[in-house]
Amino acid sequence: MPSIDLISPIDGSVYLTRETMPREVAFEAARKSRLAQERWRNRPLQERIDLVLKANEIIGRTTDRMAVELAHQMGRPVRYGGEYGGFNERVTYMAGIAGECLAPDVIEDSDTFNRMIKRVPWGVVLVVAPWNYPYMTAINTIAPALIAGNTVILKHASQTLQVGERLAEAFHEAGVPHDVFQNVVIDHDTTNALIAERAVDFVNFTGSVGGGQAMERAAAGTFIPVSTELGGKDPGYVRADADLDAAVDTLMDGAMFNAGQCCCGIERIYVQQSLFQPFVEKSVAWVNAQKLGNPLDHETTLGPMANIRFAREVRAQISEALADGAKAHIAQMTADDGQGTYVTPQILTNVTHDMRVMRDESFGPVVGIMPVADDAEAVRLMNDSRFGLTASIWTQDRDAAERIGDLIETGTVFMNRCDYLDPALCWTGCKDTGRGAGLSKLAYQALTRPKSYHLRNI
């Protein structure tokens, strides 16, 4: 039977192996999910909320194990303690707003008419989750989907297969029925078949542009909603009135944390000319203070990239940029042998948008920094991208930040922060970043469909 090997980025060893589910077994799982959904949606809303909160509590008891397992699977240093902080924040917020968001919208309640719009669950929700924040990105959809009365089938990334298993264990221990929340290990063809043959009713996909295109192709003609969060090339813009030290600390962390493997990580920075040189100097000092090494070492601040193929892409973009005239500011670090998963974090200047490192998604520890004359030039360059997830503006002028934000083609605008997902705000993108509405009250609208009632008394 075909299987998947999870290769640890720490040393290239096989961390675990799992057999892939045969197509007929996957379809049987979807059938059971559909049968279970009717019973699940009829349970009181508060019961569903309580079970999801119980699963969250169970996950919270395993943070030490989570941190070690994530280090083995995708390389994040154990010093950061896993993902429970953000996981818990998202679950509790979505649970807290569920009653209001899922309540009927009553238009009229009179002796003659009762008119209202209810929110009803789609049915079976397929969540295809990524490896870079494997707990938090998955729960963004799992929690509101279950609370809204859907059943969930989770297909986790091959790099983080164990995370899917841990989530299933927690939800089942909490009392969520096995057929209501299922974790499956399936290949791309089976995933596409489940969508194309309408074995599921809603798809949430986080991953590459190519992966999102495959999901949409599979759903073509089925009218199954496909929500996607795909690539990014998120910019930072430092205005002349910015707090320079705060901008350096936050933007460099946004560029380098998790080895640069963040959906909304900073991949390009534009700095007004008067601050450009000091910004670069302070940024170089910040990066040189990092320790690249084994993520199981508590002294390590920057671990390996999750997979050798990701590291090769980052090195290729850097090499091409240098060949075209870019300047590298960080010397090769000891842990970096030049060909493995441990990649020296790099700052590049003398870059242009003709270079792939400023145009294509890097998803690694490299950032290009360019000087700009004014807001207009910064806006033009920030919009010169096929992606649109977030943008970070550094200024003391909130009105200016909002004005600039209105001009930027992106899903989220930050002022004086970056690389953060606020569960009260809609997580969304535009252009090749895809389309969708994660978290916030809009997540409940996305994970349900409107159903209108026009009741007349005679």
- d(Cα 371, Cα 382) in Å, to the nearest integer? 12
Provide the 10 A C-beta neighbour count for residue 381.
18
Q: Which of 226, 216, 213, 175 is nearest to 53 (CA)?
A: 175
Q: Which residues are catalytic?
A: 229, 263
3-state helix, strand, coil in the chain (%, to 5): 45, 20, 35
Is-contact 126 153, C-beta < 8 A? yes
- Residue 347, SS3 per DSSP: strand
Contact 201, 58 (CB under 8 A): no
Per-position DSSP letters for 208-256, written without gaps between them:
-HHHHHHHHHHHTTTT--EEEE----EEEEE-TTS-HHHHHHHHHHHHH
Extract the tokens encoding 40: 């699940």
157: region left, alpha or beta (phi > 0 left; psi from -120 to 50 alpha): beta
For the chain, the distance separating the N- and C-terminal CA atoms, rounded to the nearest angstrom, is 64
CA angle 100, 102, 108 (to 5 degrees): 85
Taking phi over 0 as left and psi of -120 to 50 as alpha, with beta for the rest, 336 belongs to beta
Dihedral of the alpha carbons of 309, 213, 427, 94, in degrees to the nearest 10: -100
| CB-CB contact of 139 with 87 (8 Å) | yes
Phi then psi dihedrals of residue 239, to 5 deg = -80, 170
Q: How far is 455 from 421, CA to CA, in rounded Å?
A: 41
Q: Which residue has the tokens 């896993």?
A: 82
Maximal C-alpha separation, the chain: 82
Q: What angle do CA 238, 242, 245 make, to 5 degrees?
A: 95
CA distance 161 to 386: 30
Q: Which helix (H) or strand (E) is 77 found in, with range?
A: none
